[in-house]
Amino acid sequence: MKRYIYIIVALCLLNFSCATVLADTGEVQPPEIVGKAGIVMDVLTGKVLYEKNAHMQLEPASTTKIMTAILALERGNLSDTVVTSKEPPRVDGSRIYLEEGEELTLEQMLYGMMLNSGNDAAVAIAEHIGGSVESFVKMMNAKAREIGAYNTSYVNPSGLPAEGHVTTAYDLALISRYALLNLPEFRKIVASKTKEVPWQGQDWDRQLVNLNKLLWNYEGADGVKTGYTSRAGHTLVASATRDGWQLISVVLKSDTRIWSDSAALLDYGFDNFEIKNVIGEGASITEEKVKYGDPVHLVTKEGFTVVVEKNGLPITKKIVLNPDIKAPIAKGEVLGQLVFLQGENQLGSVNLIAAGDVKRKIYTFWWFWLISIVLAFYVPFRIMVGIRRYRRHKQRIQYVTYMKRYR
């Protein structure tokens, strides 16, 4: 009996010691999410901070409308009048209850689509921008390729279930990042909690309420789009900004715990990483010797910003110059790179360019020395010839003067 007690105690101590070792490593474990796929991405740099099945194709549901909004904002005018055809009122799912012939501005349609997830508004926008839903879908797929979302395929502008209508967590993050970086009006719309939109034929306006709960209960939340169908499950692309740093999280194929999933992913990013502006554009780096010319001053062509783990190793810099730098050099010419390292890990690099022109010194040309050698012999020779001619001329003058005087 005692032997069994000793074994149990030993196992307990072993488990405790193992747990202690794991705790002492200081390694932060990423969150466990319910969703089948997820990702956290930095908006500015595009760096992925967390991923789970990020490239698995799944149905996006209404997060599809992010792409619909992108095309509407890039190809339309917010003041455009969008006339509702007979098709939008027939659309299933969430709606803002458009009626055939009803007119709203493109801006109002966008609010109806992005806040209340109106499928009818999505179809109305698609017909207005593309002429037809089919043409608009082609534009959506072309734009996805342009952004780099190669595993995304759209069949409709709303996200209703359809065969072949798929995306990935990574692609959705790329698409959302594109919108947040390039479209100020998109940022404004998806960050709005409520909006009043006219309701034609009614004595009151539509009171739109954003379905993104994180806007109310997560610090810094500022977008972007919810989604749900029975096939896709709950989907959510969320964004949040803290101290000027914006992150995107994507969760696909989840359940009602998607809100805690998304909050956990964003917390993981903010708690364990930080963004650093390592160097700015035009920063003075060094002065280097130039063959055939004066030294050249090197500056950075662009700035460098990186996301790293908190309390990580310091970031170091290494200059890598082009071989055989020689004049002439034009201002802005790339002459090397400034490489950024964290330990043995290369974080990235920026180009080093010439701060000004460097002309080749004249005495470095071969023809300069040829001319110099020729002149070194020719000039003294011409001087000697000139002196001799002068002396002869002087003698002639003296002789003529003498003859005239004594003739």
Residue numbers annotated as active site: 62, 65, 117
Class of domain 280-354: mainly beta
pLDDT of residue 337: 97
Predicted confidence band of residue 27 (pLDDT cuts 50, 70, 90): low
Residue with tokens 């109806």: 112
The letter for the amino acid at 120 is: D
| Cα(48)–Cα(267) distance, integer angstroms | 14
Strand 293-300 and strand 345-354: the pairing is antiparallel
pLDDT of residue 399: 76
pLDDT of residue 279: 96
E strand residue ranges, 152-281: 194-197, 206-209, 221-229, 233-242, 245-254, 273-279
Mean pLDDT in residue range 29-57: 97
| Cα(237)–Cα(61) distance, integer angstroms | 11
pTM higher than 0.85: no
Bridge partners, residue 18, by sequence = none
Predicted confidence band of residue 19 (pLDDT cuts 50, 70, 90): very low
| Cα(225)–Cα(232) distance, integer angstroms | 14
CB 98 within 8 A of CB 88: yes
Q: Got the DSSP string for 63-103? A: GGHHHHHHHHHHHS-TT-EEE--SSGGG--SS-----TT-E
Residue-wise pLDDT for 228-287, tens only, equals 999 999 999 999 999 999 999 999 999 999 999 999 999 999 999 999 999 999 999 999
- Name the residue among 73, 39, 57 with its Cα closest to residue 153: 57
CB 129 within 8 A of CB 154: no
User: Does 21 score more than 80 pLDDT?
Assistant: no
Q: Domain locations in the chain?
A: 37-273, 280-354, 362-394
CB 98 within 8 A of CB 89: yes
- Name the residue among 218, 217, 192 with its Cα closest to residue 207: 192
Residue-wise pLDDT for 116-162, tens only, equals 999 999 999 999 999 999 999 999 999 999 999 999 999 999 999 99
pLDDT of residue 393: 82
Crossing angle, helix 133-147 and helix 169-182, to 10 degrees? 90
CA 245 to the chain's CA centroid: 13
Residue 164 DSSP symbol? T
- Name the residue among 114, 116, 132 with its Cα closest to residue 124: 132
Is domain 37-273 in CATH 3.40.710.10, yes or no?
yes
Q: Find the DSSP H helices in 228-361.
A: 258-272
Residue-wise pLDDT for 263-275, tens only, equals 999 999 999 999 9
Instruction: Report helix, strand or coil for 384.
Output: helix
The two structure tokens encoding residue 321 = 């110059």
| Cα(10)–Cα(169) distance, integer angstroms | 45
